[in-house]
Amino acid sequence: MVKKVAILANGGDVSGFNAVIRAIVKTAEQNGIECYGFIEGYKGLLNNDYVRLDTYNTASGILHKGGSIIGSSTNSNVFNYKVEENGQVVYKDLSDKCVQNVKDDGFDCVFTLGGDGTQKSARDLSLKGINVIGVPKTIDNDVACTDITFGYNTAVSVAAEAIDRLHTTGETHHRIMVLEVMGRYAGWIALESAIAGGGDVALIPEIPYDINKAADKIKDRVKKGKRFSVVVVAEGAAPKDGEISVEGVRDNGKGVDNTKLGGAGVRVAKELESLTGLEARNTTLGYMQRGGTPTAFDRVLSTKYGAKAMRACNRRKIWGSCCIKERKT
């Protein structure tokens, strides 16, 4: 019988974290199962720092809240963890300590709420004997074998609203309004927000762009009386025979993406202004896409994920690292 489970939220925050946590806790309570949460993701798992979760106290009134009530950690790869020894920074595999913590605490299963990196670590922990169920999270919508991740719909909705607002400014002042959105190496946010917001050009990582064709599209609009355009640029978009725009490189060790993207929108705005003769302005939406209240869609999706994950655990449908996925029918 499953008696005791734990949840960890890992990676960048998204709207829907708390809705998943709430659904897991509520479903656990309905089946007489104790539920706990590791504080700050894999960092909490490593430090064995956790709290009891219940729907009358710690996990109460959280459905509509953004962020995570148990925090989250980024770039915490327990298989290559950054530590300081004798004044020197070294990287160590501390996964065995995590495994021992789970066993000592008596957790029958750990729910890992996270994206690609989080689920890779979950898979590797499962190979060391820990029962794991992964729930796919990321605004980027790029978790393998998953049609839609929680947090994504909210991010697209925020970006679409930004496009609506930029549209009126561009039309008033006859400008090219460029919006840079998140997504890392996936163009889902850029593409779907552009469609939803009526954008004129969308540049995504999956298709290296020709800036001249984008400029031609804008000039054609001018000929037809449209003296403004809205261009949506994914942060990971790159020109043909060019490189992505990188703001910097972090030092968080192997096993995580240390590339800090940034500047794609500024670059595109400058080039389009030069090619078209129209004023161009860039807006980088940034963390506005990650935070705040989740949409109704994300609340429902997150609730489905959480409830399904806990039911799968209670039915002993745990095999290695089982990732709960939303599939189209």
Catalytic residues: 140
Please name the residue that has the structure tokens 């996964």.
95
Cα three-residue angle 108-11-61, rounded to 5 degrees: 70
CA distance linking residue 203 with residue 231, whole number of Å: 8
**In whole angstroms, what separates CA 102 from the centre of its chain?**
26
Q: Which residues of 30-48 are buried (b: 16+ CB within 10 A; e: fewer)?
A: eeebbbbbbbbbbbbbbee
Looking at the DSSP bridge assignments, the partners of residue 34 are: 4
Cα three-residue angle 225-227-232, rounded to 5 degrees: 125
What tokens were used for 303?
Answer: 């609730």
- Residue 111: in which H helix or E strand, if any? strand 109-114
Longest distance between any two alpha carbons in the chain, whole Å = 71
| C-alpha R_g of the chain | 22
Read out DSSP for 73-100?
BSS--TTSEEEEETTEEEEE--HHHHHH
What tokens were used for 121?
Answer: 């670590």
Contact 19, 303 (CB under 8 A): yes
Helix (H, G, I), strand (E, B) or coil at 178: strand
What is the CB neighbour count within 10 angstroms for residue 131?
Answer: 21
Q: How far is CA 273 from CA 214, 248, 268, in A?
A: 11, 25, 8
Q: What do you get for the CA distance between the two ends of the chain, in Å?
A: 32
What is the CB neighbour count within 10 angstroms for residue 223?
Answer: 7
